[in-house]
Amino acid sequence: MSIFDILGPVMVGPSSSHTAGAVRIGQITRRLLGGEPERAEILLAGSFALTGEGHGTPRAIVAGLMGMGPDDERIPGSFDIAREHGMDFTFGTTVLRDAHPNSALITAVRGEETVRVGASSPGGGRIRVFELDGLPVSFSGESPTLIVRSDDKPGYVSRVTGVIAAQGINMSKLRVEREARGGRAIMVIECDQRIPYKVKVAITAIEGVRKVTRLNPGEESK
């Protein structure tokens, strides 16, 4: 914990969990999609569904999808900005089992790409992604994180981690989830050091790897 977690963050109100965290959920969805969505279906659950409207949660999520950060003063007007950019978005509510009360499930589409992200905002503006493309995951993006989506092929885990090790980057957490043997798999790797672009390039070149997302804290809006 830093003193700037006590005095800060700078954010658009009114609520760190329902507004600032909601922006971050939109932001991380955009990152996982790999760019600005053309369409997004946003489902709010629990307290997001109940009190989200008054907290500006829907505007906050759309702001994040548009690449804004939690301190962006354009958040209240995000709907208009998204429409100007030609982004289509719809809202609904859903019931999620075993999820934190402040949660959202977002399906975002860009060209051929579709991403489905389930994330919650437990407080203080922090978030946790608990579902990605139908598979269970768990990451916050607070430390440098690599998300590798691929086909489940023998040996690919060691090839991916080999690239990371070769760059002298220390992994602090590694989790692999797959649909079925030989099916789609997601690898989430949290690291101690910033993940450079060349790591993404090298991993993308590995056979069976379909998509690589790198999340470096402080570079969310890129």
Contact residues toward another protein (CB under 8 A) are: 1-16, 19-20, 47, 50-51, 53-56, 59, 71, 73, 75-76, 123-125
Closest to 147 in 3D by CA, of 202, 203, 208, 100: 203
Which residue lies nearer to another protein by CB, 17 or 161? Answer: 17
Which residue lies nearer to another protein by CB, 20 or 191? Answer: 20
Which residue lies nearer to another protein by CB, 47 or 94? Answer: 47
Q: How far apart are CA 211 and CA 205, in angstroms?
A: 10
Q: How far apart are CA 82 and CA 7, in angstroms?
A: 31
Q: How far apart are CA 212 and CA 200, in angstroms?
A: 6
CB of 48 to another protein, least distance (A): 11
Tokens 């470096």 found at = 216
CB of 20 to another protein, least distance (A): 7
Q: Tell me the residue ranges of DSSP E strands in 153-208.
A: 171-178, 184-191
Strands of the sheet with 209-215, listed across from one edge? 171-178, 184-191, 145-151, 209-215
Closest to 133 in 3D by CA, of 153, 119, 154, 152: 119
Which residue lies nearer to another protein by CB, 64 or 125? Answer: 125
Q: How far apart are CA 70 and CA 24, in angstroms?
A: 7
CB of 174 to another protein, least distance (A): 24
Which residue lies nearer to another protein by CB, 50 or 201? Answer: 50
Which residue lies nearer to another protein by CB, 19 or 161? Answer: 19
CB of 72 to another protein, least distance (A): 8
Q: How far apart are CA 29 and CA 65, in angstroms?
A: 7
CB of 219 to another protein, least distance (A): 17
CB of 59 to another protein, least distance (A): 8
